[in-house]
Amino acid sequence: MAVRVSSTGHTGITVSDLDRSIRFYRGVLGLSVSEPVRCAGEMFGRITGVPGAEIDISFVRAPGHVIELLCYRKPEGRVSSTLRSCDPGFWHLALKVREIDRVVAAVKRSGFEPLSEIQRVDDGPVEGLRVVYVRDPDGVVLELIEEPQGVVLEELYLASAK
């Protein structure tokens, strides 16, 4: 018998500069962000699998989901991910927006470029859906989605889920 997940909690993103990430998620995307909390000690090393971990953490409240921003102060010598969208282990976070053009313009004003122009679906059950990938300050891909009236992308695909 399979176990059952009772709910989702948050999505954690490790960042290199917590203040810069807070400015992006709060200032550019308009989301609420908690004050940072420092977490350290043996237990955090065990939880993360990183001995000596010292982490500053802030939580971002997005509609319907929470994002945890983790900035490791220790240990030294961290590396940035170079995974591409097609590489196993890559992930992205989809954010539903209204007025996608305004959101992309705000992202660009903040010095970040989308990975392409905004794409529009011209036929099928999600006709009118507009979507683009952008990167946050640490290169995490955020998929910005503007759904047409009455369309919930995920529900169309999950309708036949078992």
For the domain spanning 1-77, the CATH number is: 3.10.180.10
* Range(s) of the chain covered by CATH 3.10.180.10: 1-77, 80-162
> How far, in Å, are 43, 45, 56 from residue 145 at the CA level?
38, 36, 30
- pLDDT per position as a tens digit, 105-138: 999 999 888 999 999 999 988 899 999 999 888 8
Q: Which two tokens stand for residue 26?
A: 């709060």
CATH topology of domain 80-162: 2,3-Dihydroxybiphenyl 1,2-Dioxygenase; domain 1 (3.10.180)
- Helix, strand, coil tally for the chain in percent (to 5): 20, 30, 50
pTM over cut 0.95: no
- pLDDT per position as a tens digit, 14-40: 999 999 999 999 999 999 999 999 999
